[in-house]
Structure 1
Amino acid sequence: MSNAMPAFVLHTERLLLRAPTVALTAAVVDYQARNMAHFARWDPPYPADFFASAAVTERLAQGEQSFAAGSAYRYWFSLRDDPARLIGQVHLSQVARGAFQNAILGYSLDEQAQGLGLMREALRAVIAEMFGAQVRLHRIQAAVRPENQRSRAVLQALGFAQEGLSRRYLFIDGQWRDHEVYALLNPQWEHDLAP
């Protein structure tokens, strides 16, 4: 199995995806400020200073370290013709090796960029990188609230299969919320090789 690092920058037809770096602080602060109300329904509660520039810088620095260590991979993305304005992010956390070879997928997209197929495009690129020779995950898992039709449609379009329901899974928007669990298996995984 390869322990090589995934690409820091990914390109798609319309998107530029970049690994965390403190140089993205202002763009991340702007992205989060523009979308705070939009994401509130789907995100857990955050501390009061969570979106402050210093806190964002600290999380980006931690994200750089996690990316380099192979414990989590986040890509912030923008349109290729407007690289300074972030419109989304894809995050793979809890990267497990050994017999599991799994990661937990999360993502968000700017409210003004919805309905254009941009999240599917970003996820295709990131999944290809995660299932490719550099990272070589066997499985990617995602959890989504049943009422989040857009997110469910994205996962289903990419071939994720629903595996079950996790009741009262996360505390979001004032309540414990059920989540459907989806997973995508790497079709290139070599079953006869030990992880």
Structure 2
Amino acid sequence: MTNAVPLQLRSERLLLRAPSAALAPAVNGFQMRNLAHFAPWDPPYAADYFEPEGVSARLDKAEQDFAAGNAFGFWFSRLEKPAELIGKVNVTQVSRGPFQSASLGYAIDAQAQGQGLMHEALQTVIALMFAPPVRLHRLQAAVRPENRASLAVMKRLGFAHEGLSRRYLFIAGAWRDHETFALINPDWGLDEAP
């Protein structure tokens, strides 16, 4: 099933690529460039997170998870600047059987905010996740209540607010509340069995 999932996607302005070791320098550049930008939103990093070996190891694991259908990550760049990564979309914790669901995470370069690029990237990935061969029924996302930009993205994409998860993740030295959202695949028939 998962070997038919494309390793590259294109949207109007973006090139989205599945994880591979070849992206390691660009991934590290993206991470280092946005270290302060992501600090309020990201959990603590492992000691080797920014070391070349750590970046390569994470990409290798992400590539294996993609091939196995356990997770689907995409790094994206502008079409005209493919060497410079400006964001990522991660679909993780893929659960099959009666659940057919996954968790959605995303991040965008500080200099690329406010241009609709994250919305475009998420639309592209969600379309893939809801279509064959992946065909998930549901995507869930968790957003910090103070992250207005991310809350706006959820609303614009049609995610339904499901509630508040108190003390959800340990970030920036404290347990942080998150709003939880979900998007249901509108093409998944009620009479279909997983």
TM-score bracket, normalised by the shorter chain, equals: over 0.9
- Which sits farther off after the overlay, 95-104 or 5-14? 5-14
**Other-structure match for 2:125:** 126
Residue 8 of structure 2 is matched in structure 1 by 9
CA distance in 1, matches of 2:189, 2:139: 16
CA RMSD, Structure 1 to Structure 2 (Å): 0.9
User: Identical aligned pairs, as a percentage?
Assistant: 60
Counterpart residue type for residue 138 of structure 1: H
Structure 1 segments, 4+ long, off by >6 Å, are: none
Cα deviation for residue 192 of structure 1 reads 1.1
List per-residue Cα deviations over 1:84-122 (Å, max 9, x = no partner). 000000001000000000000000000000000000000
CA distance in 2 between partners of 1:109 and 1:5 (Å): 27
The SS at the match of 2:48 is coil
Amino acid aligned to 1:94: Q
- List runs of 5+ in structure 1 lacking aligned partners: none
- Residue type at the aligned position of 1:86: L
Within a 5 Å distance, the mapping from 1:61-72 to structure 2 comes to: 61-72=60-71
How far apart, in 1, do the equivalents of 2:133 and 2:3 lie? 5
**One-letter amino acid of the structure 2 residue matched with residue 191 of structure 1:** L
In the TM superposition, what is the alpha-carbon distance from 1:5 to its structure 2 partner? 3.4
Q: Counterpart of 1:182?
A: 181
Instruction: Specify the alignment match of 1:25 in structure 2.
Output: 24
Any conservation in 1 of the 2:3–2:67 contact (CA below 8 Å)?
no
- TM-score, normalised by the number of residues in structure 2: 0.98
- Unpaired runs of at least 5, structure 2: none
Is contact 1:5-1:70 (8 Å) kept? no
**Under a length normalisation based on structure 1, what TM-score does the superposition of the two structures give?**
0.97
Q: Which residue of 2 aligns with 1:191?
A: 190
Q: How is 1:31-70 mapped onto 2 (pairs within 5 angstroms)?
A: 31-70=30-69
CA distance in 1, matches of 2:54, 2:4: 26
Report the Cα offset of residue 48 of structure 1: 2.4
Distance in 2 of aligned mates of 1:107 and 1:3: 21
Q: 1:189 offset after TM fit, Å? A: 0.5
Query: In the alignment, residue 124 of structure 2 is paired with which amino acid?
Result: A
| Aligned residue pair count | 194
- The residue identity in structure 2 corresponding to 1:47 is A
Partner SS, residue 33 of structure 1: helix
